[in-house]
């Protein structure tokens, strides 16, 4: 029995949030859990994850970042059966609307990461461990890859991108130096020529994600 579980992250109102669903069945009925589903006979595990992602968020997985976190296979991780193995995936999405507690009757909601990590009873199964591992992966990924753009809409400003780094790393970055690094890194962002007006201040230039997947030189996370 192989399942794909999803750690779906997004940024809402300057806060890093996780998509959780409330379980309708035993075990862990009423408990919060990561969305997920079973591998079908004709698909790869990546396709399973992509399918679940689009079912949960309504977003086509083509555009989003989706990556394996790891396999979780402790024999007692699922009380029903010793052999439910899950392959956890990390999905990064731009700000999405509150998911409708949809057809499958599962209440889905965005939960700030800080709350998700401090739930009284934790998440169902070993999902706490999965979440911690996925978060670590996302944080490290920002340094060496261009996945940060996956948190942004197709068109974004440099400040949008900086907000991603600041939310995920929980740090503050220097505006000027960030701007320089990002615009000078080859293939990270490409200017679209358009601008976005804000309530006050000079309108910011809009960019879209570039071709590069790895970021060099890396954007090092401040040591403390």
Partner DNA sequence: ACAAAAGTGTTTTCCCTACACCCATGA
Partner DNA sequence: TCATGGGTGTAGGGAAAACACTTTTGT
- Which residues lie near DNA (CB under 7 A)? 157-159, 174-177, 179-181, 183, 195, 197-205, 217, 220, 222
**Smaller CB distance to a second copy: residue 143 or 183?**
143
Evaluate whether 21 touches 105 at the Cβ level (below 8 Å).
no
Q: Which is nearer to DNA, 68 or 159 (CB)?
A: 159
Which spans in the chain are helix H?
45-57, 113-116, 127-144, 158-169, 175-184
Structure tokens at 80: 């029903």
User: Which partner, DNA, a second copy, none, binds residue 14 by CB below 5 to 8 Å per kind?
Assistant: none
CB of 87 to a second copy, least distance (A): 5
CB of 165 to a second copy, least distance (A): 18
- How many other CB atoms are there within 10 angstroms of residue 175's CB atom? 11
Choice between 40 and 180, CB closer to a second copy:
40
The one of DNA, a second copy, none whose footprint includes residue 159, by CB under 5 to 8 A per kind, is: DNA
As to burial, measured by CB atoms within 10 angstroms (0-12 exposed, 13-18 middle, 19+ buried), residue 111 is middle
Residue 78 CB, nearest approach to a second copy (Å): 12
Residue pair 208/192 in contact (Cβ under 8 Å)? The answer is: yes
Question: Token pair of 54, please?
Answer: 């689009």
- Residues in touch with a second copy (CB under 8 A): 2, 39, 41-46, 68, 70-71, 73-75, 82-83, 85, 87, 140, 144, 216, 223
């Amino acid at each position: 029995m192989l399942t794909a579980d999803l750690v779906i992250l997004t940024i809402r109102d300057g806060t890093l949030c996780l998509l959780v669903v409330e379980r309708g069945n035993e075990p862990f009925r009423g408990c919060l859990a990561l969305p997920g589903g079973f591998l079908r006979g004709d698909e790869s595990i990546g396709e399973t994850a992509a399918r679940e992602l689009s079912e949960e968020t309504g977003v086509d997985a083509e555009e989003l970042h989706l990556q394996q976190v790891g396999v979780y296979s402790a024999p007692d991780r699922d009380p029903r059966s010793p052999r439910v193995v899950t392959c956890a995936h990390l999905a990064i999405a731009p700000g999405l609307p509150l998911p409708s507690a949809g057809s499958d009757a599962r209440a889905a909601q965005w939960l700030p990461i800080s709350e998700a990590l401090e739930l009284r009873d934790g998440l169902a199964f070993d999902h706490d461990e999965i979440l911690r591992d996925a978060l670590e992966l996302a944080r490290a990924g920002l340094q060496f890859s261009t996945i940060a753009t996956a948190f942004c809409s197709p068109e974004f400003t440099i400040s949008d991108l900086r907000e991603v780094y600041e939310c995920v790393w929980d740090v503050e970055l220097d505006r000027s130096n960030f701007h320089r690094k990002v615009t000078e890194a080859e293939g990270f962002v490409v200017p679209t020529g358009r601008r976005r007006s804000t309530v006050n201040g000079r309108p910011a230039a809009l960019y879209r994600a570039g071709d590069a997947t790895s970021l060099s030189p890396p954007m090092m996370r401040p040591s403390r």
